[in-house]
Amino acid sequence: MSGPSLRKLDAHRAIHDGSYIEAKNLTDVLYKLVDEKRNKEAVEVADALIEHWELRVITHADSEEQGFYKEVVEKEPEMLETIAMLTRDHDLIRIVAKRVRGILEEEGVTKEVLECFTGMLIVNEIHSRDEERLLLDHDHHH
């Protein structure tokens, strides 16, 4: 069973918004450091940012999939396709995060790393709003 905060729109949105704002702020700082050619600091921020994605966003996604999403499908099997779509969003974030981790270890902060972080923000924002609208904005008998 998932925690109550995953089943309540306001609490769930607060989780999404909090982690998004942190990721966006760190991404903005990273772009500024790269622009200023402050490479050592950029590497430190990029490391903190990928850890944020792994520990806050992907861990949240894991908990949704292990509890909340399963509960939704058990109660409403017709939501299976929606859950599959939302899970694919999580998978995309996992795939891009793994790519970023590899690039950081091999090459440091590159243009592709910056693009990946921006892409993760976009996917995450769309995903969060879709999830809130499709699973939490109306009663699914939870």
At residue 7, does pLDDT exceed 70?
no
Q: Is residue 141 part of a domain?
A: no
Domain that holds residue 114: 4-136
pLDDT at 1: 43
At residue 59, does pLDDT exceed 60?
yes
Give this prediction's pTM. 0.89
**Per-residue model confidence as pLDDT tens digits over 88-136:** 999 999 999 999 999 999 999 999 999 999 999 999 999 999 999 998 8
- At residue 5 the predicted structure's pLDDT band, cuts being 50, 70 and 90, is low
Q: Is residue 80 part of a domain?
A: yes
Q: Which region, left, alpha or beta, applies to residue 80 given φ > 0 means left and ψ of -120 to 50 means alpha?
A: alpha
- Top pLDDT among 41 and 140 is at 41
Q: Is residue 10 part of a domain?
A: yes
Q: Is residue 22 part of a domain?
A: yes
Q: Is residue 31 part of a domain?
A: yes
Cα-trace Rg, the chain? 16
CATH number at residue 80: 1.20.120
Which of 109, 90, 131 has the alpha carbon at shortest distance from 29? 109
Please state the domain count of the chain. Answer: 1
SS3 of 34-81: the string is HHCCCHHHHHHHHHHHHHHHHHHHHHHHHHHHHHHHHHHHHHCHHHHH
Q: Is residue 108 part of a domain?
A: yes
Q: Is residue 142 part of a domain?
A: no
Q: Is residue 73 part of a domain?
A: yes
